[in-house]
Structure 1
Amino acid sequence: MRSACMSVYKFRQFLFLVTLGIVMACASMASMAQASVPVLSVPDFTEVVAKTEGSVVNIRTTETVPVRPSPFGPGGGSDPYEMFRWFFGPDFAPPGMQPSPRRNAPAPSQEEQERTVPRGVGSGFIISEDGYILTNNHVVEGANGIFVTMTDGKEYTAEIIGTDPRTDIALIKIDAKGLSPLPIGDSKQLKKGQWVLAIGSPFGLDSTVTSGIVSAINRETGDYLPFIQTDVAVNPGNSGGPLINLAGEVVGINSQIISQSGGFMGISLAIPIDEVMRVVEQLKDHGKVTRGRIGVQIGQVSSDVAKAIGLGDARGAMVSSVEPGGPAADAGVRSGDVITKFDDKEIKHWTDLPRIVGATKPGNRSEIEVWRKGKSHSLKVKVGEMPSSTDTVAATAPESKGTAADSLGLTVADVPATLRERAGIKGGVQVSQVQGPSAVAGIAPGDIILTINNEDIENAAQFAKVVKGLDKKRAAAVLIWRDGQTQWVPVTPAK
């Protein structure tokens, strides 16, 4: 019995030691795992701010506004009824009296007709030792006086070297030497989640620092600019100030906020510094920006259209219209083509094309790759200079009798010769009535159908044959012409 008790006791000792060993091993492993996980903390921005804030400036502007002469000014008390005429008009007169001949009086002096008033406050930053400063165009646009105040309180009068309203960039200069410019960074190296700072003058509070992270890269807003989106607090007065990384380099210019209240709501947009410096070079040399153009209007390629025309992925820029006699027309680009490359640069999103073409020097011969009827074609285009305006041709109602409605829900007719000539198109059919799938897709009476999938439409009879042979299980890509532009519309035939 005693021997059995001893055995049980030793067994319990053994179990205790094994359990203790397991617990200690687990604790050791947990400690090692915890040690391998990096401990993150909010960075200290004091050194970055100390290095950069002296190069950020406050910009205030003035403008001249017309002022109506006051009856209480010089000479205002010579006529006891002048005060009433100031309110009720120059022909006012008390009952029984003739109007005073004020219309023949000498005109007020220029000083009495205009006065200079404060226009707005913005920010900017120094980019050279000899006084060149970058800011937004909307900060200085329309100003008759630009005043730059440094962090030490010194104030200078600035002159505009050049502006570019399209990118909202302005280059100004003050008469100063030995300034400390901010180092220019590389905005292409930015990543989501990276810490950045904004320094500026929100509501006129100069040298204000705010921080946040990069929320998105290449944010499209319809302005053909790939904005940097951040959650850095930016308010009126921050415009034109720098967006700075933790190395103290400028990676963007704070330009816009997305807000429903007019104040900061967590979304700020900055112009990438790479885009800015390309503009600055031209502003310095010429005072303006010259951009390339090829004479096309473009749109987005949807995934349905991409599949229907055999492109696969939704990429490139769909050509909606080609300017007659323009660079693209001379190169052989057609409406409905999808431009996938320009000078070996991939067009991943349709808004990439205007930036790439705009940055190309006019006169340059560039290679352009287009997707047409299931194949890639290489063309050579001589880049022109961006024009100021374009003309379009309006569609008219069809003159000839239409066909019966088909599986697309369309009634069409041959395009009148006069309209073909004015629109610069060959073949096609014009829509007279729309119902069913095409009505849902957005096709309207007066539209001209040029192509279905990869087959050009010649006339109403051939159109009917093409529609009859469509696969009713998948959407057809219909290329339409409307108001001088073309676009692909996916339409699924009715079963």
Structure 2
Amino acid sequence: MKKLWLIFAQTTTIGLAIWFLLTLLKPEWRMPNMAPAPVVTVKESQAPASAPAELSYSLAAKKAKPSVVNIFTSQQARPSRNPWLNDPLFRRFFGDRLPQGEDAQRPSSLGSGVLVSEQGYIVTNNHVVDAADQIEVALADGRTATAKLIGSDPDTDIAVIKIDLPNLPAISFADVDKVEIGDVVLAIGNPFGVGQTVTMGIISALGRSELGINTFENFIQTDAAINPGNSGGALVDTRGNLLGINTAIYSKTGGSLGIGFAIPATTVKQIMEALIKEGSVTRGWLGVEVQDVTPELAASFQLQTAKGALIAGVVRSGPAAKAGIRPGDVLLSINGKEVANSAKMLDIISALKPEQSVPVLVVRDGQQVELKAEVGKRPKFNRQ
């Protein structure tokens, strides 16, 4: 009996061992009546797991920083407008009483600029050097020089100054047409006069206009910190190439709130070349005051869409008046280009050459009327 029990135990042990080996090799044999577990397919990233992440923009900063300069301006104190100074007897005893020495200089203002050529041309904002009697430039390598104003354009807030120094590091211009929202950018300037500073952000929007900052607006919007003193500094891409000139911030306190604006490099180059060549920018002009066409105005003037620019006023003896354009007309196109709104109209006219004759299509009393206008030269207007 004991022998039979030993044979049974050995047989059972061997059987269990064989079953364990079989189920290990064939798991589905364990529960033959259950359906196989579903297979879940996940989407794998095509990038390698060790894809490099660009955590530093030091190379871009090193490339662009030498081209960004600090600008210091000062104004001579002006004579007092006190009427007593016009009295000969008063002047005989007290003289002109003008400030002397250090008191003859008004406090310096701080800004930034960008070297755009090895010949010493620097682009900055017009409001940085406006009305300055003396302009001093400090380079990143420690050199300083007195600059000469070449020309300025208040309508775009761009000015060009020039210094005479050897071995100047000119910046490279980027292709702004390839820029997209979300691209990383660096802002380089001299905020609050603390010294050259680099901040980082992204492009938040393109083609910003109708902000009331300049007459002609086509801003790059960025959240890179732009503070007072950054005006005229560089907005560059991650390769250190110039995307624009920092010009304004949206702020109620004077500090950066994450909304800054830069003039695109394409506009900068166009205005810069005109200022260097002629000392000023020549733009076309019709001599009209306009407003955008609202849906209510479109219905009132029997327009199919709310497009165009309503003529609210006409300058007497101006190009528009001579062409027969009247208040109440709605401009639809100029020289074959559609006028979508008043800002677009301003861009179209300003791009025309003075003394050029162009067709102007308007709606008058519900009817389309085509007129001929000879473009005038845009006069200089005082910006408040």
Candidates 135, 138, 141, aligned match of 1:152: 141
TM-score by length of 2: 0.79
Offset at residue 14 of structure 1 (A): 5.2
Q: CA deviation at 1:365?
A: 1.8
Deviates more, 1:379-388 or 1:50-59: 379-388
Structure with the larger RCO, 1 or 2 (CA within 8 Å, 6+ apart): 2
- Mapped to 1, the partners of 2:131 and 2:91 lie a distance apart of 34
2:191 matched to 1:199? no
Contact between 2:309 and 2:332, CA under 8 Å: does it hold in 1?
yes
Cα deviation 1:140-191 (Å, max 9, x = unaligned) = 1122221111111011111101112222111000002332221223434433
- C-alpha distance 36-334 of structure 1, shift in aligned 2 (>3 A): farther
Against the structure 1 CA distance between its residues 115 and 312, is the aligned structure 2 distance closer, same or farther, given a 3 Å change threshold?
same
In structure 2, give the amino acid aligned to 1:311.
L
Aligned 1:10-409 pairs, distance under 5 A: 12-13=31-32, 15=34, 18-19=36-37, 22=38, 25-26=39-40, 29-30=41-42, 33-36=43-46, 44-65=56-77, 104=93, 111=100, 114-219=103-208, 220-222=210-212, 223-224=214-215, 225-387=217-379
Could you say if the C-alpha distance between residues 131 and 105 of structure 1 is closer, same or farther in structure 2, counting changes exceeding 3 Å?
Answer: closer
Could you state the TM-score of these two structures normalised by the residue count of structure 1?
A: 0.63
Q: Please report how far the alpha carbon of residue 112 of structure 1 lies from its aligned counterpart in structure 2 after TM superposition.
A: 6.0
Structure 1: distance between partners of 2:194 and 2:45: 44
Give the whole-Å Cα distance in 2 for the aligned partners of 1:292 and 1:66: 36
Are the equivalent residues in 2 in contact too, given 1:369–1:379 (CA < 8 A)? yes
Structure 1 residues 13 and 337: CA distance shift in structure 2, 3 A: farther
> Residue 11 of structure 1: CA displacement?
9.3
CA distance in 1, matches of 2:91, 2:324: 68
Distance 2:33 2:336 in 1: 74
> Deviation of residue 353 (structure 1)?
1.5
SS at match of 1:239: coil
Partner of 2:22: none
Q: Cα gap change, 1:193/1:345 in structure 2, threshold over 3 Å: closer, same or farther? A: farther
CA–CA distance in structure 2, aligned partners of residues 277 and 233 of structure 1: 24
Residues 1:304 and 1:126: Cα distance change in structure 2 (over 3 Å)? same
* 2:77–2:99 Cα contact (<8 Å) kept: no
- Inter-partner Cα distance in structure 1 for 2:306 and 2:252: 32
- C-alpha deviation, 1:41, in angstroms: 5.9
| Cα separation, 1, equivalents of 2:98 and 2:190 | 37
What's the CA shift for 1:57? 0.8
Secondary structure of 2:261 counterpart? strand
Deviations 1:443-495 (A, max 9, x none): xxxxxxxxxxxxxxxxxxxxxxxxxxxxxxxxxxxxxxxxxxxxxxxxxxxxx
In 2, Cα distance between the equivalents of 1:298 and 1:107? 49
Q: Is the 8 A contact 1:64 1:114 kept in 2?
A: no
Which deviates more from structure 2 when the two are superposed, residues 33-42 or residues 129-138?
33-42
Shift of 1:257: 0.8
Return the offset for 1:216. 1.9
Measured in 1, the distance between the counterparts of 2:328 and 2:77 equals 50
Do the aligned residues in 2 keep the contact of 1:67 with 1:112 (CA within 8 Å)? no
Give distance in 1, aligned partners of 2:355 and 2:46. 58
Q: How much has 1:372 moved relative to structure 2?
A: 3.7
Deviations 1:261-302 (A, max 9, x none): 111111111122222222222211222222210111100111
Amino acid at match of 1:47: L
Mapped partners of 2:78, 2:301: distance in 1: 59
- Count of residues in Structure 1 that have an aligned counterpart in Structure 2: 341
Instruction: Check the 8 A contact 2:59/2:239 in 1, yes or no.
Output: no
Q: Counterparts of 1:322 and 1:258 in 2: how far apart (Å)?
A: 33
Q: 1:377 to 1:244 in 2, by over 3 A?
A: farther
User: Which one is further off, 146-155 or 374-383?
Assistant: 374-383
Residue 221 of structure 1 deviates from its aligned partner by 0.8
> What is the distance in 1 between the residues matched to 2:305 and 2:179?
26
| Structure 1 residue identity aligned to 2:305 | D
Question: Which stretches in structure 1 are left out of the alignment for 5+ residues?
Answer: 1-8, 69-100, 390-495
Q: For 1:313 and 1:117, locate their aligned partners in 2 and report how far apart those are by CA, in whole Å.
A: 54
Q: Which amino acid aligns with 2:211?
A: T
Partner Cα separation in structure 2 for residue 164 and residue 256 of structure 1: 16
Q: Partner letter of residue 130 of structure 1? A: Q
Offset of residue 374 of structure 1: 4.4
For residue 75 of structure 2, give the secondary structure of its aligned residue in structure 1. Answer: strand
Q: Give the C-alpha shift of residue 373 in structure 1.
A: 4.3
